[in-house]
Amino acid sequence: MRVIGVLGGMSWESTQSYYRALNEGVKAALGGFHSAKIVMVSVDFAEIETLQQQGDWIAAGDLLASAAKRIERAGADCLLIATNTMHKVAPAIELAIDIPLLHIADATAERLKADGVTRVGLLGTRFTMEQDFYTGRLKKQFGIEVVLPDQVERDAIHRVIFEELCQGRLEEASRQRYLTIIDSLYTQGAQAVILGCTEIAMLVSQADTAVPLYDTTALHAQKAVAWALA
């Protein structure tokens, strides 16, 4: 079994979901007392969030690249960035390490393609929804068209992520707002919706809606488990 490196803490609320999913995945595959071999560095999200708001992606990339190098030195064989948004700086991180980075958008797109989904809705932070690093990758590398919520909806999604989910708060009113937005994306022609922030699956699950949902945390972890056990 190869060692999975996890760059977490963005936020720690979702990083614990990664830890559980990785260990449950290995146990399901191997049985008994088996669990995942993991090396993790968890950063202080306050530092990252400040750089996000300042738009200083270079400094954020440098900070995370340094953490990634510590993970590699500790013996990891691959790297997961346990957040969608900070894949914005994935190229800078990849340049800093010699181990493969398993990209969260690739893990999601591969499952979408396997399921025949070519037009998908996306929920995430404002950065993930509005910048090209995520939606562009889905379109250019996998031919998947992305349908986005409107501006008011994007603002609401972003606010809930930072003011509630990253703080460990799960509000029923926010769940219903997200479900309304999911229904709207489906009405606009999305065949499914990506939960493109690693905290969103804490609030909304497939049990809440008939619209197919793709949980990026779960899919990312599944790809890492398959890679570690290959």
Q: Which residues are designated catalytic?
A: 83, 197
How many residues comprise the chain?
A: 230
- How far apart are the C-alpha atoms of 37 and 26, rounded to whole Å? 9
Nearest to 202 by CA among 190, 217, 192: 217
- For residue 93, give the nearest of 125, 59, 69 by alpha carbon: 69
CA distance 79 to 230: 16
- Residue 25 CB contacts under 8 Å (≥ 6 apart), including other chains: 36, 221, 222, 224, 225
Distances (CA, A) of 213 to 117, 183, 199: 11, 11, 14
